[in-house]
A and B are shown apart, each in its own frame.
Chain A
Amino acid sequence: MTDTNNKEQASTHKIGIYLWIWVLLFVLSFFSYMVDWYQFQGMLRWSLILFFMFLKAGLIMAFFMHLFWERYALVNVLLWPMTAIACFIFLMAAEFKYTLFSRLFYFFVGGGV
């Protein structure tokens, strides 16, 4: 995209970048499998899982799906709706805690008042 105005040429990148991302994805998948292999537990496990997951997802979207080279209007149309999903996750996280609380309460304390 730097040295030519030719439309076809503008659309391709060096093969090296794809191979690098490919290798990185393999390595990251291997690491996330190792999280389970060594049976990390608690916050360490969850943070490592999320870290590798977001890194892999970011690499796939940025380079394999070309969003890194895509224009801003398209990138923003795609990424801003994700905030709605984040809100939904927070809402449902609050909801499942409440459901769990009321289940425990009525199963074990009893509801016959």
Chain B
Amino acid sequence: MSDPKIEGLELKPGFKGMASDTASDQTMFKGVHWGKAMMWIFLLSDTFVFSCFLISYMKGRGSTPVEWPNPSEVFALNAFGVPVPLLLIAIMTFVLITSSGTMALAVKYGYEKNRKMCGWLIMATAVGGLTFVGMQAFEWSKLIHEGVRPWENPFGAAQFGSFFFMITGFHGTHVSIGVIFLFIYAYKVLAGHYENGGKKGWFTTMRGDYVEIEILGLYWHFVDLVWVFIFAFFYLW
């Protein structure tokens, strides 16, 4: 999304452009908002954290001689008296993808300076995220009632609980933090902090710009991205 035309330097496509970008004077990624570059680097480090969790889960699950609990039975939910495998998890996945879609549209409308659409789409994203956290809280309490603990559970290998609470808990924390920021930025957009050259934010003299919505969107899509991997490895595998 960054502009390839920067004052005095037009990037060629592909690796040639990459070489001149990397070797250019003073700063790399000229024309990319610094906040966006920083958010990407933060997300890269967060990727490593989540990878370590998932890899340790692989190691723990692979190295136990006790049978692993069957996730499609553990996470089944009774609908009309019939146990449906992974029902809640499927709904959570769809809710998170829906909120990711509204966020992508919010970024687009933000760049088009459509204040109302952008603000309300961020609000819808926040509501979707809140729904997700609520369903996750329900899932946690259901499993805790059934006797799942970080050190034991009635379904199989004892490591199951610790990996479950660690991985989904860390992801849920990310979603919760994202929801808080989504509400803040929905307010900021609707209140017009990015209109007419932008209003100064808290603790900064810099003026607001709709690029902040793209940066917020990167974080939110990352949360969805992590869920894709958790859904595949923890719930489906």
A11 to B215, CA, bound (A): 13
Given A29-B97, A57-B229, A96-B62, do A65 and B86 touch, yes or no (CB 8 Å)?
A: no
A100 to B232, CA, bound (A): 23
Contact A53 B228 (CB under 8 A): yes
- Chain A residues with CB under 8 Å of B111's CB are 8, 11-12
- Chain B residues with CB under 8 Å of A78's CB are 40, 44
Q: Is the interface of A mostly helix, strand, loop or mixed?
A: helix
- Tally of A-B residue pairs with Cβ under 8 A? 160
Contact A96 B44 (CB under 8 A): no
A21 to B62, CA, bound (A): 35
Contact of B85 among A13, A37, A107 (CB under 8 A): A37
Give the distance to chain A from B185, nearest Cβ to Cβ, in Å.
17
Closest to A69 in B: B1
Given A18-B105, A96-B62, do A5 and B32 touch, yes or no (CB 8 Å)?
A: no
Contact A88 B59 (CB under 8 A): no
**Size category of the binding interface on chain A:** 35 or more
Contact B86 A33 (CB under 8 A): yes
Contact A74 B2 (CB under 8 A): yes
Contact A13 B108 (CB under 8 A): yes
Contact B86 A36 (CB under 8 A): yes
- Chain A residues with CB under 8 Å of B56's CB are 92
Closest to A104 in B: B65
B58 at the interface (CB under 8 A from A): yes
A86 to B52, CA, bound (A): 11
A99 to B65, CA, bound (A): 10
- Chain A residues with CB under 8 Å of B184's CB are none
Contact residues, A6-33 vs B (CB, 8 A) = 7-8, 10-13, 15, 18-19, 21-22, 25-26, 29, 32-33
Contact A15 B108 (CB under 8 A): yes
A69 to B2, CA, bound (A): 8
Contact B229 A53 (CB under 8 A): yes
A81 at the interface (CB under 8 A from B): yes
Contact A88 B51 (CB under 8 A): yes
Give the distance to chain B from A37, nearest Cβ to Cβ, in Å.
7
Contact B100 A60 (CB under 8 A): yes
- Chain A residues with CB under 8 Å of B229's CB are 53, 57
- Chain A residues with CB under 8 Å of B22's CB are 73
Could you list which residues of chain A lie within 8 angstroms of chain B, going by C-beta atoms? 5, 7-8, 10-13, 15, 18-19, 21-22, 25-26, 29, 32-33, 35-37, 39, 45-46, 49-50, 52-53, 56-57, 60-61, 63-66, 69-74, 76-78, 81-82, 85, 88-89, 92-93, 95-97, 99-100, 103-104, 107
